[in-house]
Structure formats: C-alpha cells, structure tokens
Structure 1
Amino acid sequence: MTETTIVLITLIAYKIILLGVGWWASRRVSDESDFFIAGGGKGGGLGAWTAGLSYAASTSSAWVLLGFTGIVFTQGAVGLWLVPGIFGGYLMTWLVMGPRLNAETAAKGHITIVDFITDGMAGKAKRLTGLLCAALILFCFVFYISSQFQAAGNALDEVFGLGVAEAVLLGAAVIVAYCLLGGFWAASVTDALQAGVMMLACILVPLATVSAAGGIGAVIETLHATEPHDYFSFTNGSAGMAGIGVAMGLLGTGLGALGQPQLLNRIMSVRTDRERKQAAAITIGWGVIIYSGLICLAFAGRALKVDTGGESLFFAAAQNYLPPVVAGVVIAAVLSAVMSTVDSLLLAAASAVSHDSGIQYSDPKRGLLYGRLAMIGVAVIAVIMTLTLPKDIFTRVLFSWVALGAAFGPVILVKCLGMKVRDIFIFAAIVAGFSIAVIAYNIAGPLADVIEKWASWIIGFAILFAGRTPRPI
C-alpha cells in the first residue's frame, strides 16, 4: 500500500472510533449539565486520567504541534520562552484555582465558568455580565475554531491534495456529529485518546528526525556552524528593554490558560479533590514529554534544512524520516487529533449562546436542544471564516487565547483566592482586560506585546482590588 492509502485507512478508522464514542456518550446525556460538563455539577464528572489528558490535549493540538514547532524552527531559542509560561498556566489552574472551582461546582451545580464568575451577583448586573462573557467567548472561539479547521485543512491538502475547502468541510462534519451526540462526555474521552496519540507521535517523529541528523550532539554542532548568532538568542537578537519585551511577551502567553473555559471546565468536572491532584500530575507529565519532543524536532529539522514553511514541519519530518507505514499512521492520527480539539471549543461556544446568555427554559430538554443548535451555528460561522479569511495558525490562536485570558483570568483568580468584589468592578475588569489586549494586539512591537500579555492583567487586578468589599469582622 502507498503512504496515502495508509493515511486514508487510518483516518477513516479514527473517525469511526470518534463517532462510536459519541454514540456511547449519547446514552449519558439527558440535560444541559450532562451535555456541557459531564454531570460534574450534579454528582457525576470525570476521573483523573480523562480530565488530565483531555485538559492537556485541549491546551495544545494545532498550535503546539504546528505553531510552536514552527516558531522554534524559524526563530530559534526565543520561542522557548513559551514553555515556562505554559507550565506556569498548568500549575496555576490545577493547583491554585482548581480547589475552589471544583468545590463550588459540586456544591452549587455550576455548568460553565460563567456561572462561577457571576455567582453572588444579583439582578441586572448578573444578566449583563453573563451576556458580556457569552459574547466574548463566542467572538474569541470563532477565531480559535477556525484556526483548528485551517490546520487540518492545510494538512489534508498537503497529504491528499484534497483541497482545503473539502478537507475542512469533511472534518467539521465528523466533529459536529459526535459532539451533538455525546457533548462534554464525548469531547473529554476523545480528547484523552487524542492526548495519547499526540504523545506517541511526539516521541516517534522527533526520535527519527534527531537520528537522521546524527544525534543531539550533531544537531547542536550543525546549528552553531550554519545559523546566525541571533538564532540562539533568547531575545531574538534584541538588546535592553526591547529584548526584555520580547521575552516577557512570549512568557506571558501562559497567563491565557487562567481564563479559558474549555480548560477550566475540565477542572470543574473532576469528581474529587484527590482526582484533581492526580489529573494535575498527569497533565504536567504529558507536557514534559510533548514539549521536549517538539523542541528536539524543531532544532533537528532546522539542522537538516527540512524544506517547510515552519508550521508543516511535523508532517514533513514524518514523511521524510519514518518508514512509510509508520509515517502514514502518525500523520493520520495527528491530523485527526488536530481536528478533534475543536470539540471542546465548540461546546464552550455553544454553552455561551444557549446557557450563559441568560435564556430561561421551562423544559430542560429545550435547553439541551438549543445547545446543540448553537453548536451547529458556531461551526458554520467558523468554517466560513476559515475559507474566507485565511491567516497563520499561531496568530489566530494567540489572539483568542490572550484576549479571553485577560478578560476572565483576573476575575476567576481573585474569586478563587476568596476576594469579594462589587459587581460593577467585575464587569469593568472584564471589559478593561479584553479591550487592552485587543488594542495592543493590533499594534506592532515588543512593548505592545508586553501591554497585551501583562498590562491587561495588571489593570484588571487594579480594578478588582479597588472594588473589593471588606470582610465581615
């Protein structure tokens, strides 16, 4: 069999598995709580392995396998600043914010992170804040989802010559199908499978590429002999405050995790505090393997002068340095993994439309129906954006990740730490964080990058601190 045939067979098998998971999970979905958080707010929830691996996969996929590898491949050591930021996000969400998120979900029956943000608010302030949060989630996630569709479409086009439009439509149809059936249950189980696939691929492809380059020592020697000094600079050759700005901008990317609904929902849904701690360890261990492998791949690919624009390095290396059968399986599996990350984003966006917007349903079944309809609508918008507004994967994901993190992260963190804040100041902090991040994103330069990643948070914290209420004596 040719490599293309192997990829196709593996891809079809993987899609059948995803649809099977969706059918299995559909039997566990009876209302909004099941559909959006696996029953975590009513005594159900995820175990440690499913929660930890699905969280890990939801943080990564296209932008890590393709975007992170591409930035290290093209720009060198400066891209490594992303790693401590990302692991800092893991630790903050699971171990600092996790206890309060998990406990309140179990005690109060929260379904989404917006329920947690607006808990304790009253009347008009609660409704307006819920609507604001829903609008921001929908706006950001349309960009995020379109980047995932684009990543898979590009890869399918490269492997099969299928055409980006056909590839995007095919992948989107399968994902929407199993998500409509099984909701959060299906998304979490398939994401856990995806995490295992990604880990295996991020061991095999880097090992083969480093071996082809003659080993780690040969890679380092070749890079020092052929690359300019700036490639090894942690500031990309910038000096003084400009260099600090470059480093701080990349490091600050990890802050975005503190405001991502699709990640925090995993923590909210874990069954027990003990399993939450186990899930944290699983996520961190997975991350160590993934990022170690991708860094080695990026540098080895650069040493070998792999002919790629950067974001397709993973697929090019698999095709060049793995046996055809193994390469076919790896490419197909990773391709499906990239696409299936969309499921968590679709669920979060759908919950924003049908639940967080404040619409009241007399019949719980009607809420479930509108959640599914909202998911279809979001998917259609994202597909249209993918096909009409192409942009590089890393840029799209980074925009939505940072903007949503700046809007929600400070509020969620202070609430998790027990600070009581007046309603209007919570609303103002969300607006300020998001607005500053968006404005700074559209300005070039390292200073703007620091403002986008850090000043948006600092101002948000300042607003919340000003609006805190005194603790009762």
Structure 2
Amino acid sequence: MDYHYAVLITLISYKVLLISIGLWSNQRNSNTQDYFIGSHSLGPWVAAVSSAASASSAWSLLGMSGAAYVMGISAAWIPPGIICGYIFNWFWLAPQLQKLSHEKKSVTLTELLAEDTGKFKQLITFVCAFAIIFAFSFYIAAQFQAAGKTFASTFDMSMTTSIILGTSIILIYTLLGGFWAVSITDTLQGLLMAATSLLLPIYALLAIGGPTELWQQMHLVFNEQQLNSFGSHSGMLAIGFIFGLMGIGLGNCGQPHVVNRLMAIKSQAAIKQGRIIAVTWATLVYGGMVIVGWSAKVLIDPVADQEQAFFALTSSLFSPIIAGIIIAAVLSAIMSTADSQLLVSASALSYDVVKIEDHKKALLFSRLTVVLMCVVSTLIALYAPEDIFTRVLFAWNALGAAFGPLLVVRVCSKRVQGCYALAAICTGFFLTVALSFMPSAPGDYIERLVPFFLALAIAWWGRIHLTQKAL
C-alpha cells in the first residue's frame, strides 16, 4: 500500500464514521433545543474536548506550526496566552455560565446576552446575528481552505474540487445530526489532534537528537530576528508585542461555538472534570505545534508554504502508510472544525432572529441556513484566499471583543442596561474590524486589546448605573 492509498482509505473510513454519527444523532433531534444545544446534557469529555477542538483545528495545527516556523523563538509567547484563556473559561466562566444558562433555559449565546435588555433586545439580537455570520463566514472559509490545500497537495487535485469535496462531507453530517453530531465528531477530532500533537514532536525531537540539539540547530537555521524573544522589537514595542501575542487568549470567552459547549454541560461535577481535560489538551496541542514548527525549520527547511510545514515534517519522519494515516486523520479533523461554526451561524438566523414555533419547520429552516453558510464560505475560500492564521485570528478577535466583555459582566451582575449592552457589542466588534484595516502594531496588540477592554469598560459602566438605579 503506498502513500496515496493509505490517505484515501483512512479518509474514506473516517468520513463513513462521521456520516454514521450524523445518522445516529438525527434520532436525538426532536426540537431546536436538541439540534442546537443537546438539551443541556453534555458530559465532561465531550464538552471539554469538543469545545477545545471547535476553537482550534486548522489554525492550531497548520497555523501555529507555521507561525513557529516563520517567527522562531518569539512564537513561544502564543501558547501561554491561549492556555490562560482556557483556564479562565473553565475555572471561572463555566461554573457561573452553566448555572445561568440552565436557569434561563438559554439555547444560544445571543439569547443569553439579549435577555433583560428591554426595548434593545431585538436590536441586540440582530447585531449579534450579523457579527456571528460575518465573522464565521471568514472563519469557516479558513477551514475549507486548509482542507483544500491538503487535498490538492496530496491527491494532485485542483483547489476548487478539493474545497467542494471537503465542504460536501461537512455539510452532510451537520445537516443530519446537529449539535450531537458536531459535539461527538469534534471530540474525535480533538483526540486525534492531541495524539498527533504528542506523537509528531516526540518523533521530531528523536530525529534531531533531543531538545538540546534542537536548540543548537535552531541557532544555525534561524536568523538573528527569529532567535530574538521579541522578534524585531525592543523597548515599549517589545512589551506591546508580548501582550499582543498573549492577548489571543482573551477572545476565548467570546467565541459562540465555545461558549455554547459550556452552556450545554449537564452539571457542576462535569465542569470540574472537564477543566482538567481542556487545559491539558490545550497545553499538549499548542506546545506541541511550536516544537513542530521549530523542528520543521531544522529538518526540512525550506518549504514552499509555511502552513505546509506540518505535513512536510510528517512525510519526512514516517513511512508512507503511517504518514498517510496521520495526514488523513488530521485532514479530517481540520474539515470537521467548520461544523460548529455552521451550527452557531444557523442558530443565529433560524433560532434568534426568525422565531418559528413549529419544530419541524424550525429544523428545516435551520438546515437551509447551514447550506447557505456553506455556500458563502466556500465562495470566500475559492475567490478570496488568505493566510489561514491571519483569517482565523481576525474572526477570533472580532467575536471575542464583541461578546466576551459583555458575557463576563452579564455572568457577574446578572444584568446590563440595554443601551450599554448594545454599545459594548458594537464597540468590540466594529472597532476590531476597523483596526484590522490599519497597519499592524507589534503582535497586533492594538487590534487585540483596545476593543476588548473598551467594550468591557462600557459593559461594566452599564452594570454600575443599574446598581445605582436600584439603590
């Protein structure tokens, strides 16, 4: 069996499994609560691993390793920030959010944020839906693009055919199974990512001769800027660079597809178990991908595309069959990440904006929305290609600043005045979008930090006013 057959057989087997999960999950969807949030009944393993996987995939494997390959030592600032985001979500946000969402019987993040905002409720719902659909169109396109790159390079297919093929598989099982299918397939995806993030760095270090030899070899292949912990920056700009990279973790608490899993956890006991699983997963995956990027620079430099360093290293270290299995499994994982974003986008339109009482009609409209999002994201991937890492971080920053600050204050004080809630969402989202068009600051610290903390101040101010009124 050669490399291409190994990839093909593994890929077909994995896709059959995904579609089977979709068929099984379809039996559990009697209403929109089942389809979008699994009736608040996720256990610790599914909640922890699926939330981590849905927040990561293409950019954590290809993007993170590619960033380490290009940036060098300074890429090491990224994992601590992301891991801190996981710690905040699971140790502080999740326990309070689980109680609040179960108490309010909230199905979506938008529903939770818009509640008790009076006459602003409908406007907040529309703004949230717009922000989710706009950002996720690019986020999902990045996943399709990552899958397309891999299909094209592995099977010598055109990019158009590759992207359409990957999109079709994702569409089938998301339409069939909804939240349950997405959560379970994302759990499988997350376990595959963790296994790969453990196996590949170990084999790379063994090939190089150990961590000490890796460090010595890095000084031979990286330039002076790449060997500097602050890149090309110094003084105050170096501080901004560090805060910018570590600030990536800020966006974690505002990602609808991540928060959705936290809302769906069945109990506080499940949260206590899930937090250990989630933080361990993040440490393993992001730390592992930094080592992969550095090792690729030492072992196989140069590569034509930095985001192909992961696949190039895999092919160089393993036999064709093993390499084919790893690449096919990771490819499947990358492709299945888009399902969570598709489901949240569908809920933003079909559940939050368009209120349909009839359960069958509501499910049909939800599935049609998934199809529409797939088409839009596919067109973006085909006709507006961009660096995966950059595209994902843009959507991540925009959603994190739009929803994270308000959610934190909402969970703390239970309520924020409608005008302040709307102002916080708009400030976080639109300011991030506006800043993305300006020249990048070191580590993108302005785009990443300013909108988030300004939105947090607005939301907190609305809470203070409310308290004063009550007194």
Which category of TM-score, normalised to the shorter sequence, fits these structures?
Answer: over 0.9
Give yes or no for contact 1:101–1:267 (8 Å, CA) kept in 2: yes
Please, which of 48, 52, 55 is the counterpart of residue 48 of structure 2? 52
What does residue 379 of structure 1 align with? 374
What does residue 96 of structure 1 align with? 92
User: How far 1:432 sits from its partner (Å)?
Assistant: 0.8
User: How far 1:448 sits from its partner (Å)?
Assistant: 8.8
Q: Does 1:210 align with 2:202?
A: no
Q: What are the ranges of 5 or more consecutive residues in structure 2 without an aligned counterpart?
A: none
DSSP-derived class of the 1:420 partner: coil
What does residue 367 of structure 1 align with? 362
Please, which of 465, 470, 473 is the counterpart of residue 467 of structure 2? 470
Give yes or no for contact 2:47–2:265 (8 Å, CA) kept in 1: yes
User: How far 1:75 sits from its partner (Å)?
Assistant: 0.8
How far apart, CA to CA, are the structure 2 residues paired with 1:163 and 1:12?
A: 19
Please give the TM-score of this superposition, normalised by the length of structure 2.
Answer: 0.96
User: How far 1:317 sits from its partner (Å)?
Assistant: 0.9
What does residue 81 of structure 2 align with? 85
What does residue 28 of structure 1 align with? 28
What does residue 8 of structure 1 align with? 8
User: How far 1:228 sits from its partner (Å)?
Assistant: 2.4
Please give the TM-score of this superposition, normalised by the length of structure 1.
Answer: 0.96
Figure out how many residues of one structure are paired with residues of the other and give that number.
467
How far apart, CA to CA, are the structure 1 residues paired with 2:253 and 2:333?
A: 23
In the TM superposition, what whole-angstrom CA distance separates every residue of 1:346-386 from its partner, at most 9, and x where no partner exists?
001111111122x2223122111111110000001000111
Q: What are the ranges of 5 or more consecutive residues in structure 1 without an aligned counterpart?
A: none
How far apart, CA to CA, are the structure 1 residues paired with 2:42 and 2:261?
A: 8
- The equivalences for 1:69-218 within 5 A come to 69-122=65-118, 124-218=119-213
How far apart, CA to CA, are the structure 2 residues paired with 1:223 and 1:112?
A: 46
Give the stretch that moved more between structures: 53-62 or 143-152.
53-62
User: How far 1:394 sits from its partner (Å)?
Assistant: 0.5
- The equivalences for 1:245-256 within 5 A come to 245-256=240-251
Give yes or no for contact 1:147–1:396 (8 Å, CA) kept in 2: yes
Which segments of structure 1 move beyond 4 Å, counting only runs of 4 or more? none
In the TM superposition, what whole-angstrom CA distance separates every residue of 1:297-356 from its partner, at most 9, and x where no partner exists?
111111124332221111111111111111110000000000000110100111111112
User: How far 1:210 sits from its partner (Å)?
Assistant: 2.0
DSSP-derived class of the 1:22 partner: helix
DSSP-derived class of the 1:150 partner: helix
What does residue 59 of structure 2 align with? 63
What does residue 313 of structure 1 align with? 309
Q: Percent identity, aligned pairs only?
A: 38
In the TM superposition, what whole-angstrom CA distance separates every residue of 1:438-458 from its partner, at most 9, and x where no partner exists?
111111132692221111122
Give the stretch that moved more between structures: 225-234 or 385-394.
225-234
How far apart, CA to CA, are the structure 2 residues paired with 1:270 and 1:120?
A: 23
User: Cα distance 1:296–1:362, how it changes in 2: closer, same or farther (>3 A)?
Assistant: closer
How far apart, CA to CA, are the structure 2 residues paired with 1:351 and 1:344?
A: 11
Give the stretch that moved more between structures: 13-22 or 284-293.
284-293
How far apart, CA to CA, are the structure 1 residues paired with 2:175 and 2:456?
A: 38
How far apart, CA to CA, are the structure 2 residues paired with 1:203 and 1:4?
A: 24
User: How far 1:465 sits from its partner (Å)?
Assistant: 2.7
Calculate the aligned-residue CA RMSD, in Å.
1.4
- The equivalences for 1:241-390 within 5 A come to 241-308=236-303, 309-357=305-353, 359-390=354-385
How far apart, CA to CA, are the structure 2 residues paired with 1:107 and 1:81?
A: 38
How far apart, CA to CA, are the structure 2 residues paired with 1:398 and 1:363?
A: 38
How far apart, CA to CA, are the structure 1 residues paired with 2:223 and 2:442?
A: 25
